[in-house]
Amino acid sequence: MSSDPGISRPTAVFGSFPRVRMRRLRRDDWTRRLVAENRLTADDLIWPCFVVDGEQERQEVASMPGVERLSIDLLVEAAGEAKDLGIPAVALFPSVDPALKHPDGREATNPENLVCRAVRAIKEAHPDLGIVCDVALDPFNSDGHDGICRNNYVVNDETVAVLVKQAIVQAQAGCDVIAPSDMMDGRIGAIRDGLDAAGFEDVRICSYAAKYASAFYGPFRDAVGSGGALKGDKKTYQMDPANSAEALREVALDLQEGADMIMVKPGMPYLDIIRRVKETFAVPTLAYQVSGEYAMLKAAVHNGWLNNDAAVLESLLAFRRAGADAILTYTAKEAARLMRDG
């Protein structure tokens, strides 16, 4: 009995206490389930995972308790576990050898780079599992930026040309969804044209259309090894956290350019943006429960301030209530197990 967040209904007055007792429908578990307005299932989750070179390599991410960088062989096994839990897709993020990082991010377009090798291995083992690939240069750039820097400024059009090449090698490897997270102007149309010209008309694009210059990305940058290299900040291309209407313009432009799905990032501090996007455009809308959100939750659990299982599931249900159709979350496998085991 999920409600459609895109449909507004008139407010009605149905009576008053004592005839109306709102707690009647909360009394028993079966009625609470019967009248629940939103549902959370494993179908709503995407598991973001970090891949590193090597074999049997497992590296803990200190700022993200419970999250690991995995070599391709271990990642293939972990992806299979996610699939068995009913999770439809995984999203790949590489931790690249610093020796392969250059100012022009050239390793991003190498068909034999870490991401492409991981995609091929996962697809061979689990052909029915969806794979989402990040398109941005920050894991490959020696300066930690999402694009190419010229005179301490990330240049737009030159970056877009590289992103198109990056998207094509990922599609050639077997990626199902190209997910540009760079926030360059015009990159969705350019990537769509590039994919189509290369024969990948069916490869989908999930645009990080409303990605904010947020303070909540720090642990992710630790995980992919870009944080220490980052020179300056990303405020000239990621969105100002003060802005809401601007997100609607960004989404509208990306949809016009051919995006199939839209991402809002970060997640819980931006539930209002998710709601506005869903109500305005009624398109598949995804949310990213980012590394800082995950780290805060797990730190509170570690200190005994929150119940882990309840907080994990409630935080994800909040995204569904706001209108998100799917959620990228580092708790995906954990949440899927909790829902499976009741």
Task: Please pick, among 123, 265, 278, 333, the residue that the annotation labels catalytic.
Answer: 265
Asked if residue 180 lies in contact with residue 160, where contact means CB atoms within 8 angstroms, the answer is: no
Query: Dihedrals φ, ψ of 302, to 5°?
Result: -60, -35
Asked if residue 209 lies in contact with residue 259, where contact means CB atoms within 8 angstroms, the answer is: yes
| Residue owning tokens 């008053």 | 16
CA torsion through residues 130, 253, 191, 106, sign: negative
| Residue owning tokens 């939103």 | 38
- Contacts of residue 266, defined as CB under 8 A and 6 or more positions apart, other chains included, come to 212, 214, 216, 217, 288, 289, 290, 292, 293
Task: Please pick, among 83, 101, 123, 211, the residue that the annotation labels catalytic.
Answer: 211
Q: How far apart are CA 250 and CA 244, in angstroms?
A: 10
Task: List, in sequence order, every beta strand (DSSP E) within 155-235.
Answer: 177-180, 204-211
For this structure, is 165 an active site residue? no
Type of residue found at 116: C
- Contacts of residue 155, defined as CB under 8 A and 6 or more positions apart, other chains included, come to 147, 148, 149
Dihedral over alpha carbons 67, 65, 228, 142 (to 10 degrees): 0
| Residue owning tokens 């990537």 | 191
For this structure, is 265 an active site residue? yes
HEC letters along 6-51: CCCCCCCCCCCCCCCCHHHHHCCHHHHHHCCCCCCCHHHEEEEEEE
Helix axis angle for 187-197 and 245-257, nearest 10°, is: 20
Other residues' Cβ atoms within 10 Å of the Cβ of residue 252: 14
| Residue owning tokens 């947020």 | 214
Asked if residue 286 lies in contact with residue 259, where contact means CB atoms within 8 angstroms, the answer is: no
250 is an annotated ligand-binding site residue: yes
Give the active site residues. 211, 265
- Residues contributing to the annotated binding site for Mg(2+): 250
**Which residue positions form the known binding site?**
250
